[in-house]
A and B are shown apart, each in its own frame.
Chain A
Amino acid sequence: MNAEKPELKKLFALSSEGRKYSFTLPLKNVIRIGKRDYNIELREDEKYGIHVLWKNRRYPVEIVRTKQNRYEILFNDISHIFTVETPFAMQRKKVLGSGKGRSERLVVKAPMPGKIIDVLVRENSQVLRGEALVILEAMKMQNEIQSIVNGTISRIGVKPGQNVMKDDILAEITVK
Chain B
Amino acid sequence: MKKIKRILIANRGEIAIRIMRTAKTMGIKCVAVRTAVEPNAMYLSMADIIHDEDEDASEIPVFLDVEKLISIALETKCDAVHPGYGFLAENAYFADRCQVNGIIFIGPSHDAIYKMGNKTVARQIALRHKVPMAMGSPGSIADEEEALVHATRIGYPVIIKAASGGGGRGMRIVRHASEMEKMFTLASREAEKAFNDPSVFIEKYIENPKHIEFQILGDQHGNIIHLGERECSIQRKHQKLLEEAPSPALDTELRQKMGETAVEIARAVSYYSAGTVEFLLDSDKNFYFMEMNTRIQVEHPVTEMITGIDLIEQQILIAMGEKLKIRQEDVRLSGWAIECRINAEDVQAGFAPSPGRIEKISFPDEPGIRVDTGVRAGSSIVASYDSMIAKLIVTGKDRHEAIVNTKKALDKVWIKGTKTTLPFFRMLMRNHLFQEGTFTTAFIEKNLEKYYSHGEYEEMIAAWLATKLFVEENLEDKKTNISFDQGKEITPWLLRKRLTQF
Whether the pair A74, B459 counts as a contact (CB closer than 8 A) is no
Taking CB as reference atom, which chain A residue is nearest B454?
Answer: A78
Q: How far is the CB of A38 from chain B (nearest CB, A)?
A: 9
With contacts A31-B460, A77-B422 taken as known, whether A13 is within 8 angstroms of B416 at the C-beta atoms is no
**List of A residues within 8 angstroms of B457 by Cβ:** 31, 33
Check if B423 sits within 8 Å of A76, measured CB to CB.
yes
Docked CA distance A54–B462 (Å): 12
Whether B461 contacts A52 by the Cβ 8 Å rule is yes
Query: Within the complex, what minimum Cβ distance (angstroms) separates B457 from chain A?
Result: 6
Against B, the Cβ 8 Å flags (1 = close, 0 = not) of A67-92 are 00101011111111010100000000
Decide if B360 touches A42 in the complex (CB within 8 Å).
no
Answer whether residue A142 sits at the interface, using C-beta atoms and an 8 A cutoff. no
Alpha-carbon distance between A54 and B360 when the two chains are bound, in angstroms = 20
Please state if B466 and A82 are interface contacts (CB–CB under 8 Å): yes
List the A side residues contacting B415 at CB < 8 Å. 60, 77
Question: Using Cβ atoms and an 8 Å threshold, which residues of chain A touch B411?
Answer: 57
- CB atoms of B463 and A76 under 8 A apart: no
Which of B109-117, B432-440, B467-475 binds A?
Answer: B467-475
A-B contact count (CB 8 A): 106
- The answer to whether B359 touches A49 (Cβ under 8 A) is yes
Within the complex, the shortest CB–CB distance from A68 to chain B, in Å, comes to 10
**Interface flag for B93 (CB, 8 Å):** no
Task: Count B-side interface residues using an 8 Å CB cutoff.
Answer: 33
Q: For A31, list chain B residues within 8 Å (CB).
A: 457, 460-461, 464
Docked complex Cα distance between A25 and B467 (Å)? 10
Q: Kindly provide the distance from the CB of A5 to the nearest chain B CB, expressed in whole angstroms.
A: 10
| Cβ contact within 8 Å between B348 and A79 | yes
| Given A47-B360, A49-B416, A60-B416, A76 contacting B458 (CB threshold 8 A) | yes
Q: How far is the CA of A74 from the CA of B414 in the complex (A)?
A: 13
A74-B419 contact given A49-B359, A52-B461, CB 8 Å threshold = yes
Chain B residue contacts of A96, Cβ below 8 A: none
For window 420-466 of B, CB contacts with A under 8 Å fall at 420, 422-423, 452, 454-455, 457-466
Query: Are A80's CB and B459's CB within 8 A?
Result: yes
Interface of A is mostly: strand
| Residues on the A chain within 8 Å of B360, using CB | 47-49, 60
Contacts of A13 in B (CB 8 A): 463-464, 466-467
CB distance from A157 to the nearest CB of B (A): 21
A84-B359 contact given A11-B471, A60-B415, A77-B422, CB 8 Å threshold: no
CB <8 Å contact, A42 and B348: no
Given A60-B415, A82-B463, the answer on whether A11 and B455 have CB atoms closer than 8 Å is no
Specify which of B347, B420, B465 is in contact with A61 (CB 8 Å cutoff). B465
Nearest residue, chain B, Cβ from A55: B457
With A27-B467, A66-B469 known as contacts, the answer to whether A77 contacts B461 (CB < 8 A) is no
Interface presence of A112 (CB below 8 A): no
Shortest A16–chain B CB gap in Å is 11
Complex contact A11–B465 (CB within 8 A): no
In chain B, what residue has the closest Cβ to A131?
Answer: B349
A19-48 vs B, CB cutoff 8 Å, 1 = contact: the mask equals: 101010111000101000000101000011
A76 & B454 in contact (Cβ 8 Å cutoff): yes
Instruction: Assess whether B471 is in contact with A27, with CB atoms less than 8 Å apart.
Output: yes
13 residue pairs A–B, Cβ–Cβ below 8 Å = A15-B463, A23-B464, A27-B464, A27-B471, A33-B460, A48-B360, A49-B416, A66-B473, A71-B466, A71-B469, A73-B466, A74-B419, A80-B459
Contact surface of A with B, Cβ cutoff 8 Å? 8, 11, 13, 15, 19, 21, 23, 25-27, 31, 33, 40, 42, 47-50, 52, 54, 57-63, 66, 69, 71, 73-80, 82, 84
Known: A61-B465, A66-B473, A84-B469. 13 other contacts (CB 8 A): A42-B468, A49-B360, A50-B416, A54-B461, A60-B360, A62-B416, A69-B474, A71-B465, A73-B465, A76-B455, A79-B419, A82-B463, A82-B466
